[in-house]
Amino acid sequence: MHQAVSATVAPVAAFLAHLQLERNASPHTLAAYQRDLQALQQWAGQQDITDVLQLQAEDLRAFVAAGHRAGLSARSLQRRLSACRSFYAWHLRHGRIAASPVAGIRAPKAQRKLPQVLDADEAVQLVELPTNAPLGLRDRALLELFYSSGLRLSEVCALRWRDLDTATALVQVQGKGRRERLVPVGSHALNALAQWRADSGGADEAPIFPGRNGGPISQRAIQLRIKQLAQRQGLFKHVHPHMLRHSFASHILESSGDLRGVQELLGHADIATTQIYTHLDFQHLAKVYDAAHPRAQRVTERDIE
């Protein structure tokens, strides 16, 4: 059994090398593909199949079914199938298989959850924390930047002072797939960052938010700090960095209605990813409709009488 699994390693290793060397995929992306394709390898070995390139459509359906029986969520199964599609498509382009066994196979639909967000008042309550506490200037700059620019946690951790252009109020970030983009920084965030830099004396090459060893702060440290700061500010939601990104996107979209613009700001490769932020407060919309439309006034008890 072990030999059957190890015999399937070469095609996967070649594909991962392609992602790393030619596609410049991030370590996080590589790890995700590796996990999903290793699951395929292990399943193939259990079926005494020595080469994953020999799997047929019925095999892939059985692979998905096995994951479902094991309790994997619909989202996890979708991710596995997505990795398999990319894997087999690459080998198909290189003539190693005649057809992709994944074509036409669909994972169960995942229930799409709307992102949890802070409303505008809660966001202001969070970011306007006092700066006279230990690390207060840093914490204020951190929160203001998250909410001002909608950056990912990994993007904030990687920022150095050279990436911030105060003259143009733009910050250059490297997002998923090593794609670079320029993102506006609001005036409150710029002011907080300026105060933090003056206090910390950060050089151009230094991380904007350094950790204890002088290198970039860890993602876990920021997650814990934001949770603590939210509680300190009287917010008892589960506040985390991605919630601030959700809040940024939701508030910008509700004000502007510009889905493409929000897509660019967030660095989404696919606008379908951005469309999750098109959720709106329908009670708010009803009030706007009632106030604005000449024939929208609702029937009252007096009208009936």
Residue 65: Cβ within 10 Å count: 11
| pTM exceeds 0.75 for this model | no
Containing H/E element for 260? helix 259-266
Nearest to 148 by CA among 251, 14, 258, 75: 251
Cα gap 11→5, rounded to integer Å: 12
Judgement on whether residues 198 and 141 belong to the same structural domain of the protein = yes
DSSP state of 160: B
The answer on 132 and 12 residing in a single domain is: no
Instruction: Write b or e for each residue in 25-49: b if 16 or more Cβ atoms lie within 10 A of its Cβ, otherwise e.
Output: bbeebeebbbebbebbbebbbeeeb
Same domain, 129 and 246: yes
Same-domain pairing of 236 and 141: yes
Predicted local confidence at residue 172, as pLDDT? 94
Range of the domain at 33: 2-93
Spatial strand order in the sheet of 170-174: 164-165, 170-174, 180-184
Residue 107 has pLDDT above 80, yes or no: no
Please indicate, yes or no, if residue 207 is contained in any of the structural domains: yes
pLDDT of residue 201 exceeding 50, the answer is yes
Could you read off the pLDDT of 38-50 as tens digits, one per residue?
999 999 999 999 8
pLDDT for residue 298 = 47
Would you give the DSSP letter of residue 113? P
Q: Does residue 110 belong to any structural domain of this protein?
A: no
Q: Specify if 6 maps to a domain.
A: yes
pLDDT at position 151 is 93
pLDDT of residue 179: 83
Domain count, the chain: 2
Residues 75 and 153 both lie in one domain: no
3-state SS assignment for residue 281: coil
Residue 36 confidence (pLDDT) above 90 = yes
> SS3 for 50?
coil
Q: Catalytic amino acids? A: 152, 176, 242, 245, 268, 277
143: alpha, beta or left, given left = phi > 0 and alpha = psi -120 to 50?
A: alpha
Q: Are residues 144 and 253 in the same domain?
A: yes
Q: Which residues of 93-119 are buried (b: 16+ CB within 10 A; e: fewer)?
A: eeeebeebbbeebebeeeeeeeeebbe
pLDDT at 278: 65
Six token digits for residue 16: 């991962």
**Lowest-confidence pick of 36-45, 80-89, 130-139, 296-305:** 296-305
Query: Are 127 and 87 in the same domain?
Result: no
Q: pLDDT for 140-197, tens place per residue?
A: 999 999 999 999 999 999 999 999 999 999 999 988 877 889 999 999 999 999 999 9
Q: Is the pLDDT of residue 293 over 90?
A: no
CATH number of the domain residue 168 falls in: 1.10.443.10
Q: CATH number of the domain that 38 lies in?
A: 1.10.150
